[in-house]
A = this chain, B = another copy of it.
Amino acid sequence: MSKQHTLLMPLDMHLHLRDGVMLETVAPLTSYTFSGALIMPNLVPPVTSKDAVIAYKERVMAAVGVEAADPELDLVNSDYFEPYMTLFYQNYDKEFLEDVADEITSLKLYPAGITTNSEGGVSSFDLDTMRPTLQAMSDLEIPLCVHGETDGFVMDREAEFMSIYELLASNFPDLKIIMEHITTKVAVDMLDEYPNLYATITLHHLLITLDDVAGGMLKPHLFCKPIAKRPEDREALLKVALDGHPKVMFGSDSAPHPQHKKESCGCAAGVFTAPIALQSLCELFDSHGKLDNLQSFVSDNAQRIYGICPEFKEIVLSDEPFTVPEKYGNVVPMYAGETIGWSIESVE
């Protein structure tokens, strides 16, 4: 008899849905199994106004209602999906933030040029310049999500950014700061240093190291930013995720790119995991005997940290094998064509 595991109101607290046809391809793959997701604002142009937030949310909701790109996938497009919207961090005044606050869940800060569509991000972490915005966010209780990388050597970028996390966390002790998609032991250790620092961790950073990207053949579909790090880094991430550490949330950073942009001379960064995330997480947590902690990692911690209350949704998974499709639309998922040990059994 197969083993089953039930997850309630799963949340993906770091998700790229893009726009247009891509949005219509990928949004149903998340809304099928998640109650909600924090939607990244790095569109072209980035989401920097109240109108843009509202309009993007409407496009996301419309896409969730659209038939999945591949009708054979037979997805139940749930009515219960909440896109938690984010605003692209720039220096905003308090009036603007007050006006937009009800429409957003957080601001997402990108260092300028650090990843896909981040050119309009922060080019200098000057506290005097940033203080009005950050203080207003703190006063309004709007969390700050941060892509924490410098422009240094690729394996050092996250570790080098720790001093900026310390600067922000110590100067704005009432501001909730989420270190997004952490990849290093040093970032994990930072969680215990400041009460207002939190983190998301992706599926792929729990599974792979740089060895998987570039140790054998080069694997463009596993290339992401931040790049996967060393084995001891993965171990540190795995430990806090498997333990259901209360300051750690699942955020897939699932980032779809068309196949031709992944398999070419200059491959774009991003791993597409949305449609395999819960199945893989079940397999991973089960293999470590930690299935009971998965609920904290994929939902409860995020509800508490962000103060959000998603509508009821119950996902039952079982340890029946699931063969991952080669593509969803023109996007190649992680583990394309391979088999995962767990699958979705029902969604209610």
Interface residues of A (CB under 8 A from B): 153-155, 209-211, 213-221, 223, 227, 230-231, 263-269, 332
Which residues of chain B are within 8 angstroms of A210 by Cβ–Cβ distance? 153-155
CA distance A219 to B264 in the complex (A): 8
Alpha-carbon separation in the docked complex, A42 to B213 (Å): 24
Q: Among A210, A218, A264, which residue has the most Cβ atoms of chain B within 10 A? A: A218
Contact call A217/B267, Cβ cutoff below 8 A? yes
**What's the least CB distance linking A79 to chain B, in Å?**
36
Residues of B near A154 (CB, < 8 A) are 210-211, 214-215
Copies, count: 2
Beta-carbon contact of B211 and A218 below 8 Å: no
Residue in chain B with minimal CB distance to A232: B153
Tell me whether B153 and A211 are in contact (CB under 8 A): yes
Can you list 16 A-B pairs with a CB-CB distance of less than 8 A?
A153-B211, A154-B215, A216-B266, A217-B268, A217-B269, A218-B218, A218-B220, A218-B223, A218-B266, A218-B267, A218-B268, A218-B269, A219-B265, A219-B267, A221-B265, A263-B264
Contacts of A269 in B (CB 8 A): 217-218
Shortest distance from the beta carbon of A162 to any chain B beta carbon, whole Å: 19
B residues less than 8 Å from A215 (CB atoms): 153-154
Q: Kindly identify which residue among B209, B214, B332 contacts A227, using a CB–CB cutoff of 8 Å.
A: B214
Q: Is the CB of B219 within 8 A of A266?
A: yes
Q: How far is the CB of A116 from chain B (nearest CB, A)?
A: 10
Q: Could you tell me if B218 and A153 are in contact, using CB atoms closer than 8 angstroms?
A: no
Given A214-B227, A263-B263, A263-B265; A153-B221 close (CB under 8 Å): no
Distance in angstroms between the alpha carbons of A299 and B34 in the assembled complex:
63
By a CB distance below 8 angstroms, the chain B residues around A223 are 214, 218
> Complex formed: what's the CA distance from A332 to B264 in Å?
12
Q: Could you tell me the distance between the alpha carbons of A242 and B155 in the complex, rounded to whole angstroms?
A: 27
In the docked arrangement, what's the CA distance between A153 and B215, Å? 7
Closest 5 CB pairs of A and B: A217-B266, A218-B267, A154-B215, A218-B223, A154-B211
Residues of B within 8 A of A155 (CB): 155, 210, 230
A266 to B220 CA separation, bound complex (whole angstroms): 7
The answer to whether B209 and A265 have CB atoms under 8 Å apart is: no
Interface centre among A211, A223, A265 (most CB of B within 10 A): A265
Contact in complex: A153, B267 (CB < 8 Å)? no
What is the CA–CA distance of A98 and B214 in the complex, to the nearest angstrom?
40
Choose one: B214, B217, B221, B263; the contact of A214 (CB below 8 Å): B214
A264 to chain B, nearest CB (A): 6
What's the Cα separation between A269 and B263 when bound, in Å? Answer: 15
Q: How far is the CA of A216 from the CA of B155 in the complex (A)?
A: 12
Which residues in B have their C-beta under 8 angstroms from that of A267? Answer: 217-220
Nearest CB in chain B: distance from A144 CB, A: 26
- With A and B bound together, what is the CA distance between A211 and B227 in angstroms? 11
A213 to B221, CA, bound (A): 15
In the bound complex, CA of A220 to CA of B267 (Å):
8
A310: min CB distance to chain B, Å: 35
A217 CB to nearest B CB, Å: 4
Smallest Cβ distance from A261 to chain B, in angstroms? 9
